Amino acid sequence: MFEIAAIAVLIAMLLTLYRLFAGPTLYDRVLAVNLFGTHTVVFIGILGFLTGRPDFLDIALLYALINFVSTVAILKFFRYRAIGDVGRAPIWRRKSASRRIRLPKLGKRPKTGGSK
């Protein structure tokens, strides 16, 4: 039973990898990365059952946590071109970011002199 599930999840991971490398847009790739991480979590859990070592579930939990944070971080980076505080980015970078995503509020930030 676990062998069948492991093989199915492996095939699903391979198909997701295909979408990850062939995705035409960035968001296809982000979706594929998220899906691949979720499949990895399940695969680690199944592997723990297969080998009789349920300690693998701790690794699976850690992987689930990292997977979510990495997805949100990738999306935030490609939207604001900065991962940390967006208001503290250099002004040229802030302007280019505001022009790229057309957020009107970010361009008016320098009047207040940065957020602190």
Residue with tokens 């970011």: 97
- Give the CA dihedral 61, 62, 67, 73, nearest 10 degrees: 140
Residue with tokens 């990495």: 70
Identified binder of other proteins from the candidate list 5, 47, 81, 87, rule CB under 8 A? 5
Report the distance separating Cα 90 and Cα 104, nearest Å: 17
Report the distance separating Cα 72 and Cα 5, nearest Å: 28
Residues 55, 61, 65: CA angle, nearest 5 degrees: 155
Minimum distance of other proteins from residue 35's CB (angstroms): 5
Per CB under 8 A, does 19 bind other proteins?
yes
Per CB under 8 A, does 86 bind other proteins?
no
Per CB under 8 A, does 72 bind other proteins?
yes
State which amino acid sits at residue 31.
Answer: L
Identified binder of other proteins from the candidate list 38, 86, 89, 106, rule CB under 8 A? 38
Per CB under 8 A, does 81 bind other proteins?
no
**Residues near other proteins (CB under 8 A):** 1-2, 4-5, 8-9, 11-13, 15-16, 18-19, 25, 27-28, 30-32, 34-35, 38-39, 41-42, 45-46, 49, 54, 57-58, 60-61, 64-65, 67-68, 71-72, 75, 78-79, 101-102
